[in-house]
Structure 1
Amino acid sequence: MLGLFQRITAALMLLGGVGVVLMMLTIVADVVSKLLWNTPIQGTVEISSYYYMIALVMLPMAFVEMQDEQISVDLLFDRFPQPAQRILLVLTGCGAAMILSVMAWRTGLDALRAIRVGEVVMGSREVVVWPARMVLPLGFGLAALASLLRAMLAIRGGTTARTVHTRGAS
């Protein structure tokens, strides 16, 4: 199951990267169109904000969590003995999973509301945004699952990116 989850998160990471490329191409096309023909591409800001940015932030979230690549400050952690580090990894993994689960639940409620009302946003043109709302609970939910998996790995004494880093520094 862990291998399947890691493949799914890696695929979502790749999709987030595709979002970056698409956003860049859309913005470049908008600027070129505006400069050459004085006709900007309508909806560029809205599509970039509501689709591309959400995809590039939320889709890789679980992969980043599984790889332990989120921003962290290890002033004291590296100085603790191995058993204390394991306990802290379990506690932080469970705590992060709880917070991310609440965020998934809350954004899921917002996504359901957006679907129900057919949410759109007005800018230079009307853009349908309700499909993008579903990416948030997906990203938060998978990140919560990744946090739980990392906590379970720590309980079982398995290797996580953090323990590899800590052991390598000794």
Structure 2
Amino acid sequence: MKWLEKLAAGFALLGGLCALLVAGLTLYSVIGRNLFAHPLPGDVELSQIGIALSIALCLPWCQLKRGNIIVDFFTQAAPERVNGALDRFGALLLAVMLGVLAWRTGVGALAVDEAGEQTMILGLPMWWGYAVLTPGLALTTVIAVAQVVRR
């Protein structure tokens, strides 16, 4: 599991860097729009893709560190064995859901590439926006499966 932790940490660092780049891009565009009446063309497109990438890259770390919200109102008094079983079941459900998302995102990227779709302003290939999400979703799936097996 140590290699998963290192990989998830690397993904999270890339995700944080991506979020910082989006923040800088937004700042540049706002300053350009307000001071020089010249915003950065395609800033919204780039922000959408960048933040989606950032979130997808940070998901594995969040799952690894059990940082997702857990509603335990009804299970606070339950024995540790019951809570452990519920945690494993939740990780299994997450693994299934994110596995399907990773698969469909990859398939969607191929379909959008075949269709030749592009963003409205910059004309960037739309498949990029799908393809960059797949690794983070897939790694989160692997981590969730590992948690089901190891707990």
Q: TM-score, normalised by structure 2?
A: 0.91
2:113–2:126 Cα contact (<8 Å) kept: no
* 1:7 matched residue in structure 2: 6
After superposition, the CA RMSD in angstroms is: 1.5
* 1:54 matched residue in structure 2: 52
User: Structure 2 CA distance, aligned partners of 1:77 and 1:131?
Assistant: 42
* 1:144 matched residue in structure 2: 141
Q: Which runs of 5 or more residues in structure 2 are unaligned?
A: none
Cα deviation, residue 97, structure 1: 1.0
1:15–1:55 Cα contact (<8 Å) kept: no
* 1:134 matched residue in structure 2: 131
Cα deviation, residue 31, structure 1: 1.4
In the TM superposition, structure 1's runs of 4+ consecutive aligned residues that sit over 3 Å from their partners are none
User: Structure 2 CA distance, aligned partners of 1:127 and 1:134?
Assistant: 13
Cα deviation, residue 153, structure 1: 2.0
User: Structure 2 CA distance, aligned partners of 1:133 and 1:103?
Assistant: 11
Deviations 1:92-136 (A, max 9, x none): 22222111111111111101112333431103x423332221122
Q: Percent identity?
A: 25
* 1:94 matched residue in structure 2: 92
- Secondary structure of the structure 2 residue equivalent to 1:14: helix
Q: TM-score, normalised by structure 1?
A: 0.81
- Secondary structure of the structure 2 residue equivalent to 1:63: helix
1:31–1:40 Cα contact (<8 Å) kept: yes
Q: Which runs of 5 or more residues in structure 1 are unaligned?
A: 155-170
Q: How many residues align?
A: 151
User: Structure 2 CA distance, aligned partners of 1:94 and 1:24?
Assistant: 34
Instruction: Tell me the amino acid that sits aligned with residue 26 of structure 1.
Output: L
- Secondary structure of the structure 2 residue equivalent to 1:138: helix
Does residue 30 of structure 2 align to residue 31 of structure 1?
A: yes
User: Structure 2 CA distance, aligned partners of 1:71 and 1:35?
Assistant: 39
